[in-house]
């Protein structure tokens, strides 16, 4: 029996549309986009207007190929479309006019009804498999869903591929049937043309989070607790190195993004990613770098290794590596660690022990003795049955000399206990606190006092439901610039609102 289990509104180009999530049995199955129906007469009128727009709106080739002028092109078409509609149907109400203008824009320079899906912040992936199948989406809450959006022809899908390619100054043709594009919105689009994709032309769009997770969000849903975050915070403040491990979709990059505000605001941060996913507060001194694939002639590639090597020449204090996959990347990363740079990276591995195995075997093949440069290893886990992500382990690497060389073992300090869904202490630290004491000069009592203070601040942020990357950044900024004032607010359980209105001393206005 079908029933609606969720419904909400999304806004795209000033048009409000409704979404329904439909369940069959006990399984969410369908994503229904509810749009105004367009009758035969209206469709005929829209066809006329489309032809007029194409003829009347003067768009140069340079403008079409320039991804930075897409908003200007939209405004040109929008203004002209409104003018034509007002002339042809002067009695048209504003809501219907907005919907028809949006439909025209989406059809001429956009991706049709796919544009509405792109404006749904609940979606992570939008996939067109062929014209014979409905579009599918991956919903943050409900997983994979079938939509009621259907692309009528293969030519239309290829046209959408061409539109995406033009937005980034690329081409996709029968000779070059593969497209991988990072859009200016941060979304990543991949297209494969028939017959390489045997069912038909296909497009996969991974949506970039407009409102990324923060440490407050992560704690509220139980992914990480304040004990683990407090340890990570003190490690990052005092420039210790951290590896984040986990399987696909376990939340490695999300966790990495949430811990970066712990970095002091006057330090230079370089992030290196294949796809721009990380978003840092405006309070931080940040330079994002992204890789570039080769062109159709096999030239122009900028690899992660190229960026990592170049980053060392850019006077960084902190280097964030989106994902480590190869031996050369690991060699440069550990070289950076040993030359005094703080490095944070992600790697595919399901436990602390497996992280050691993965790091010391092909294709990464890091010498075991280098792993001692990593101070903490955080392991993320995705429970697919319950649809939750958790920090599975927080551990350290313990190296010892043997007859066969250096042997590295895992010491688990915290672990997730599935039966009670809580992160609990597991073993005492063997080297982390000793190294932290060497970095800071603190004794153990002072270290515990510092960790307890950080826990109180984090729990205060959760109580007051601090929202958004920049709000979290403002509180971290206050911690480093005026700690006494922040501590007083936390102890009195005052609202953090006043902090959000403070000027950022590291940001200079144009007229200063």
Q: Is the full-model pTM beyond 0.85?
A: no
Closest CA to 256 of 268, 246, 265: 246
For residue 3 the two structure tokens come to: 């029933």
In terms of Cβ atoms closer than 10 Å to its own Cβ (0-12, 13-18, 19+), residue 313 is: exposed
Instruction: Write down all domains in the chain, each with its CATH number in brackets.
Output: 113-210 (3.30.450.370), 215-500 (3.40.50.300)
CA dist 503 and 499 (Å) reads: 9
Whether the CB-CB separation of 381 and 350 falls below 8 Å is answered with yes
Contacts of 167 (CB under 8 A, 6+ apart): 67, 70, 181, 183, 184
Mean pLDDT on 288-316: 87
Q: How far, in Å, CA of 344 to CA of 338, rounded? A: 13
Does 506 score more than 70 pLDDT? Answer: no
Question: Residue 102: enclosing H or E segment and its boundaries?
Answer: helix 94-109
Please give the structure tokens belonging to residue 39: 């009758």
Q: What is the pLDDT of residues 49-98, one digit of tens each?
A: 777 776 666 655 555 555 556 666 677 777 777 788 878 777 777 777 77
> Considering the chain, what percentage of its residues have pLDDT values greater than 70?
94
Q: How confident is the model at residue 296 (pLDDT cuts 50, 70, 90)?
A: low
Residue pair 278/304 in contact by the 8 Å Cβ criterion: no
The pLDDT, as a whole number, for residue 314 is 94
pLDDT: which is higher, 48 or 267: 267
Print the SS3 string covering 41-63. Answer: HHHHHHHHHHHHHHHHCCCCHHH
In this predicted structure, the answer to whether residue 17 has a pLDDT above a threshold of 90 is no
Q: How far apart are CA 139 and CA 402, in angstroms?
A: 50
Mean pLDDT of the chain: 88
pLDDT of residue 150: 93
More confident residue, 188 or 246: 246
| Count of beta carbons in the 10 Å neighbourhood of residue 283 | 26
**In this predicted structure, what is the pLDDT of residue 323?**
86
Q: What is the mean pLDDT of residues 102-131?
A: 86
| Residue in this structure with the two tokens 């597991």, named with its chain if needed | 426
- Alpha carbon distance 134, 114 (integer Å): 11
**DSSP code at position 297:** T
Nearest-10 Cα torsion for 425, 428, 429, 430: -150
Neighbours of 291 (CB within 10 A): 17
Q: Are 112 and 157 in contact (CB under 8 A)?
A: no
What SS3 state is found at 454?
A: helix
Q: At 503, is the secondary structure helix, strand, or coil?
A: coil
Q: Which of 27-41, 343-357, 402-416 has the lowest mean pLDDT?
A: 27-41
A 10 A CB-CB count for 372 gives 18
| DSSP H or E segment with residue 178 | strand 178-182
pLDDT digits (tens, 9 = 90+) for 213-236: 999 999 999 999 999 999 999 999
Out of 131-135, 260-264, 322-326, pick the least confident.
322-326
Provide the token pair at 327. 């031996």
Write out 144-160 in H/E/C secondary structure. EEEECCCCCCHHHHHHH
For residue 415, the model assigns a pLDDT of 97
Q: Is residue 1's pLDDT more than 80?
A: no
Q: Judge contact between 375 and 432, C-beta under 8 A.
A: yes
Contacts of 135 (CB under 8 A, 6+ apart): 114, 117, 126, 127, 128, 147, 149, 150, 151
Identify the residue with better confidence: 249 or 509: 249
pLDDT, tens digit, 9 for 90 and up, residues 453-491:
999 999 999 999 999 999 999 999 999 999 999 999 999
């Amino acid at each position: 029996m079908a029933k609606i289990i969720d419904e909400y509104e999304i806004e795209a180009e000033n048009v409000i549309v409704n979404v329904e999530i439909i369940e069959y049995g006990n399984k969410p199955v369908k994503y229904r986009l509810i749009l105004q129906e367009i009758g035969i007469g209206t469709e005929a009128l829209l066809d006329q207007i489309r032809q007029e727009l194409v003829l009347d709106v003067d768009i140069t080739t340079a403008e079409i190929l320039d991804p930075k002028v897409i908003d200007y092109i939209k405004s040109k078409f929008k203004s002209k479309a409104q003018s034509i509609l007002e002339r042809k149907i002067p009695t048209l109400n504003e809501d219907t006019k907005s919907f028809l203008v949006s439909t025209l824009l989406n059809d001429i320079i956009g991706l049709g009804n796919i544009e509405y899906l792109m404006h749904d912040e609940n979606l992570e992936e939008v996939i067109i498999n062929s014209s014979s199948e409905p579009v599918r989406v991956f919903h943050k809450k409900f997983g994979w869903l079938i939509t009621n959006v259907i692309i009528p022809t293969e030519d239309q899908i290829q046209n959408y591929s061409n539109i995406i390619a033009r937005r980034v100054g690329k081409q996709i043709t029968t000779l070059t049937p593969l497209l991988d594009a990072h859009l200016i919105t941060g979304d990543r689009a991949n297209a494969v043309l028939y017959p390489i994709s045997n069912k038909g032309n296909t497009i996969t769009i991974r949506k970039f989070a407009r409102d990324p997770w923060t440490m407050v969000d992560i704690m509220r849903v139980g992914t990480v607790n304040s004990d683990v975050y407090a340890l990570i915070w003190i490690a990052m403040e005092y420039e210790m190195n951290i590896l984040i491990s986990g399987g696909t979709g376990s939340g490695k990059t999300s966790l990495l993004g949430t811990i970066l505000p712990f970095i002091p605001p006057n330090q230079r941060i370089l992030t290196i990613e294949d796809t721009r996913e990380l978003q840092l507060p405006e309070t931080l001194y940040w330079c994002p770098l992204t890789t570039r694939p080769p062109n159709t002639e096999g030239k122009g590639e900028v690899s992660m290794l190229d960026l990592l090597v170049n980053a060392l020449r850019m006077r960084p204090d902190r280097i964030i590596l989106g994902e480590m996959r190869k031996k050369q990347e690991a060699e440069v990363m550990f070289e950076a660690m040993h030359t005094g740079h703080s490095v944070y990276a992600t790697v595919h591995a399901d436990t602390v022990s497996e992280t050691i195995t993965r790091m010391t075997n092909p294709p990464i093949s890091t010498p075991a003795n280098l792993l001692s440069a990593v101070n903490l290893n955080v392991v993320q886990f995705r429970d697919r049955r319950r649809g939750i992500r958790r920090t599975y382990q927080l551990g350290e690497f313990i190296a010892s000399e043997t007859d066969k060389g250096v042997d590295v073992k895992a010491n688990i300090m915290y672990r997730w206990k599935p039966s009670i869904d809580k992160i609990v202490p597991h073993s005492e630290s063997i080297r982390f606190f000793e190294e932290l004491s060497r970095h800071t000069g603190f004794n153990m009592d002072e270290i515990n006092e510092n960790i307890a203070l950080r826990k109180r601040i984090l729990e205060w942020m959760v109580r007051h439901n601090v929202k958004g990357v920049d709000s979290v950044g403002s509180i971290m900024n206050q911690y480093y610039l005026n700690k006494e004032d922040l501590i007083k607010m936390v102890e009195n359980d005052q609202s953090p609102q006043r902090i959000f209105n403070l000027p950022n001393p590291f940001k200079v206005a144009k007229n200063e």
